[in-house]
Amino acid sequence: MGKFKADVQEINVNLGTEYWYSNFLAARLGFLGDYIGERYELTVEIGLKYGNMNFDWSYIHAPEGFLKGIIQKFNKDKTGANGARHGQWRGSFLFRF
């Protein structure tokens, strides 16, 4: 394998989008791609802003084998996502002074 190809495979891809409704409710969608670590995750998140307080909840969808068909078009030995964080919920609260 060439050095350039190996360097490209080390890149982690993080993409996301966010939509705010009335500066109160946020809907977010994100994607993480790690070719070498075989982590491919889709994250869905909701955020609320009220005054100087923010609440965020997110869910990670990454079952074992997630995106296997697409990944195997580039490398037949890859098996898709390893499922390490599938089903994980996260929450956060931020208070600004």
For residue range 34-53, what is the model confidence (pLDDT) as tens digits? 888 889 999 999 999 999 99
What mean pLDDT is predicted for residues 70-95?
A: 89
Identify the DSSP state of 11. P
Helix (H) or strand (E) holding 71: helix 68-71
Q: Bridge-partner residues for 59, per DSSP?
A: 44, 89
Q: What is the pLDDT of residue 82?
A: 87
The domain total for the chain is 1
Whether the model pTM is above 0.85: no
What domain range includes position 70? 3-95
> Within 13 Å of residue 37, how many CA atoms lie on the same side as its CB?
13
Phi, psi for residue 4 in degrees, rounded to 5 = -60, -45
